[in-house]
Amino acid sequence: MSRLGKTGSAEVLSDQDLKIVLRVITSSDARGCVRNVAIVILSHYLALRAKELASLKVRDVYDGKKIVDVLRLLASYTKGKKHRDVSLTNRKVRDALENLITELKHQDGERFSLDSALFRSQKRGHFSANTMVQLLKNIYVSAGFKNASSHSGRRSLITKLADKGVSVNDIRLIAGHSSIATTQRYIQENPNKIANIMGAI
């Protein structure tokens, strides 16, 4: 079940909610299905911001032979203008990227370039941060999550990690936050966890 955060904050989606979103995307015949799956997966499993997703080039995730092990988000991509490294070890992330690269190679043929946008707009160039925000919003609304936004992936991952007992500092590093206080604001309280704790006293 999804959880609403504080006023104005993005909806936190559960694993089941995410499955619904991905099922809606893949059941659509619309162009961009493989791209949209990869965008949602990277948002939810890597906590990437809309600007970071929009900025990615093929070479950031693919070296010409295989998906790289570490994605280096350049300073120009990030909110704080500081680079950060993101591990690409998650199988769902790698599968989504491999499917996307295969599609791009098929579409481009000999024109395939490592310097092209990883996620392409209708004009085949990079999305802007704002158009990526709108794309993610449209995807969530079509799946029935009207309160979800481009930040839902970040909040969902951060909250999930906190629920699993991952330290706030480790979560801060994953999210690319400069302070623990910022990370703590992202963590959505889990009422079921609190109820279990109180019931065990």
3-state secondary structure the chain: CCECCCCCCCCECCHHHHHHHHHHHHCCCCCCHHHHHHHHHHHHHHCCCHHHHHHCEHHHHECCCCECCEEEECCCCCCCCCCEEEECCCHHHHHHHHHHHHHHHHHHHHHCCCCCECCECCCCCECCHHHHHHHHHHHHHHCCCCCCCCCHHHHHHHHHHHHCCCCHHHHHHHHCCCCHHHHHHHCCCCHHHHHHHHHCC
Report pLDDT for 123. 85
Q: What is the pLDDT of residues 53-65, one digit of tens each?
A: 999 999 999 999 9
Query: Which residue shows structure tokens 């802007």?
Result: 128
What pTM was computed for the model? 0.85
Report pLDDT for 199. 53
| pLDDT level of residue 197 (50, 70, 90 thresholds) | very low
| pLDDT level of residue 171 (50, 70, 90 thresholds) | confident
